[in-house]
Amino acid sequence: MIQDLFDLNGKVALVTGGSKGIGMAMAHGLARAGADIVINSRSQEEMDAAMDYILGGTGRRGHSVVADLFNRDDTVRLAREALNTMGRVDIIVNNAGTNIVNPVDRIVDEDWDRLLELNLTAPMILVRELAGQMKERKWGRIVNISSIFGLCAKEERGSYSATKSGLIGITRTMAQELAPWNITANAIAPGPISTPLTDRLVQGELRAYFDSMMPLGRWGKPEDLVGPVLLLASDAGSFITGTTLTVDGGWMTR
C-alpha cells in the first residue's frame, strides 16, 4: 500500500533544533509516521512543551537532550545519549542552524566560527558518530537542512551561504560513501519560512524583497517541510540520494 512507503514504525529519528519552528513541525510529522523522536535544545522547559506537541496522539516514545551544538563536546554527547537511550538512530535530521548578517569585509572571526560550528560541523559530527550503527543494520536516512542561500547569493549572507553550501557539498559525499549500506543522504533547501522569529526580524524593505521573490505569493509554513522530510526519511525516497530538494515557493525560478 502507498502509505506503507512512508511508514516509520520501529525507526528512531534525531531532529536537531526540534523544539520550535521547522524542527518541531518535522519532528511531529515523523512521529505521526511512526518514528520515535529525539530532540535537543538549550532549554529543557522549551523541549518539554515541544514534546507534548510532537508526540501528542501518536503513542510514540520521545527523548530530549539539553545540548548546545555550538559546543563540539555537546554535539558528541547528543549523539551518544540518543543512541544509548533509544538503542538506535535510523534517521538524522540536521536542522539546527543560525544566521549572522555581515558584509564580507566586516565578517567577525567569532561569528564565522560560530556559524561553521553549528551549521556545518555539528551535522558532520552527528553523522560521523551515528553512521556506524546505521551500517550495521544496512538502513539509514540523513536529511541535512540547508537553505536557498546555499544555492544562490544575497548581500550580507556570505558566512551563512558558505556554511549552507558546504552542507550541500558534504551531503553529496555522504551519499556516495554510505550508499553501499543502503543509507541515503539528501539536503532540503527551504526558502523563507514564516515563524515568530522570522516575522519579527524580516520587516520593511527586506520583507518586501522576500515577498517579491515568491511566485506562489506567500511565505512557507513550518508544516510545508513535513512532506519533503517524510519523503527523504522513508522508503518512499529509497532511490533518492545526494540531491538537494528546494522547498521555496518558486524562489529559485526568479
Active site residues: 160
Of all helices (H) and strands (E), which one includes residue 47?
helix 44-55
**How many whole angstroms separate alpha carbon 209 and alpha carbon 92?**
33
Contact 184, 241 (CB under 8 A): yes
140: how many CB neighbours lie within 10 A of its CB? Answer: 26
154 contacts: CB under 8 Å, gap ≥ 6? 161
**How many whole angstroms separate alpha carbon 48 and alpha carbon 44?**
6
Which residues are registered as beta bridge partners of 157?
Answer: 102
